[in-house]
């Protein structure tokens, strides 16, 4: 009894164990939410990865009990902590060259315009943290 594996039954898996560390370019805007004031950073990495981070600002209490005896009621003990929270990561398997954020007229969110080495200028929308390609025309002689 021999089993023959066809090419259609075979599945290839391409997983990177470690993501690229260098950031090629970045842009700032409001990409996932229509709530005003939530700033996010989208960056492209050397391996063709697009990362979307949210800027989270939180106050951390001082926790210093020595000032309780002095009767100080000032909020000077609170520290402001700024962190980046990864919202989504998109693997493109291409060489990305440039990125910018654009707000469409009448829109409440920004979209991302990405220029690639292969001759495409893509418009990507991060609605609810999920990437959706809105437009991907080829330009120049390389694209098509």
Q: Contact at 8 Å (CB) between 52 and 40?
A: yes
Tell me: the pLDDT tens digits for 20-47?
A: 778 999 999 999 876 777 899 999 998 8
Per-residue pLDDT for 84 more than 80? yes
Q: So what's the pLDDT on residue 101?
A: 94
pLDDT at residue 85, as a whole number: 93
Separation of alpha carbons 129 and 140, rounded Å: 31
Strand order in the sheet with 49-60: 23-29, 40-45, 49-60, 79-91
Backbone angles phi, psi at 87, to 5 degrees: -90, -55
**Helix and strand element counts for the chain (H, E):** 0, 8
34 vs 60: which has the higher pLDDT: 60
Per-residue pLDDT for 137 more than 90?
no
- How far from chain centre, in Å, is Cα 47? 14
CA angle 55–15–23, rounded 5-degree value: 35
Kindly report the average pLDDT of the chain as a whole number.
80
Q: Residue 60 pairs with which residues in a beta bridge?
A: 79
């Amino acid at each position: 009894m021999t089993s023959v594996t066809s090419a259609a039954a075979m599945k290839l898996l391409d997983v990177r164990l470690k993501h690229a560390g260098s950031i090629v370019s970045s842009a700032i805007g409001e990409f996932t939410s229509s709530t005003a004031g939530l700033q996010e950073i989208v960056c492209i990495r050397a391996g063709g990865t697009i990362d979307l981070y949210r800027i989270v600002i939180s106050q951390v209490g001082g926790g210093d009990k020595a000032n309780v005896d002095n009767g100080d009621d000032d909020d000077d003990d609170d520290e402001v902590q700024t962190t980046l929270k990864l919202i989504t990561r998109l693997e493109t398997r291409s060489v990305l060259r440039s990125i910018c954020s654009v707000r469409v007229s009448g829109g409440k969110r920004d979209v991302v315009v990405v220029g690639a080495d292969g001759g495409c200028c893509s418009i990507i929308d991060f609605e609810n943290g999920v990437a959706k390609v809105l437009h991907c025309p080829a330009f120049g002689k390389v694209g098509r």
